[in-house]
Structure 1
């Protein structure tokens, strides 16, 4: 029997995290509430992509461990495990072939391009799927409160050079 309440997600909600995958990709995630995340990609195959209000499934699987999963309008599927106790993250991303062939199509603010992303997804190709399964080190954690629209509000390229250290830690 677990020693924590599996339904209590309050420990994770409102957290802003930055992490760098072992392959060098750098991502930022804001757990906005029990159903949504915002994120931006600083560096990686789809670097400079940013998203608000991505519907997710969140499950608490340990005292300081949660799993978050989602499917994007692009057809990209994501499953991540965040371990705040040990400051690491494990993610599996399933990229449809069209994203691997044309990653530049995903850059920018996804929310303004959903119809276009769905068009690219339907046009394909989807297969073969490229699976990226990597560990990441969490390099920044800050509690930003729930439903804070200012956390992810621009592309990574628009952030100050000293980000995230300019956040008044």
Structure 2
């Protein structure tokens, strides 16, 4: 599986045993995610691309990806309102140019207890399991700067909920 890391706005790719995602496919996904971000808020100018993980291909040959772009919903700008926001993207294998943000799945998705301000990495372990590492707020942390390391495996449950397996 692929694993992506982020730190202070800069993105770096780390691979496990899988090959890196095709650059054209990644560009298509990032373009769709960028359009979504522009529609719901403002993008963080320092975060050029989002964290991205492949969740698998269904029986109709459509691959599902989950992206975590940094979004400032409401465009408050510098008010500590920017956060990683999950976005579901579907890419038909027979026609990648028909990729689209699945608005229904995106609206329904909820990561319970995800450290949305300080994601460091995401890794799809299976189509229904994801490993997320990030920083959450410790007592006394300012709104801009979470400092407590959180390392969790999430499992997808009915209704769009991703719940921590163990906390």
Same fold (TM over 0.5): no
Using CA pairs under 8 Å that are at least 6 residues apart, name the structure with larger relative contact order, 1 or 2: 1
**TM-score, normalisation: structure 1:** 0.30
**TM-score, normalisation: structure 2:** 0.30
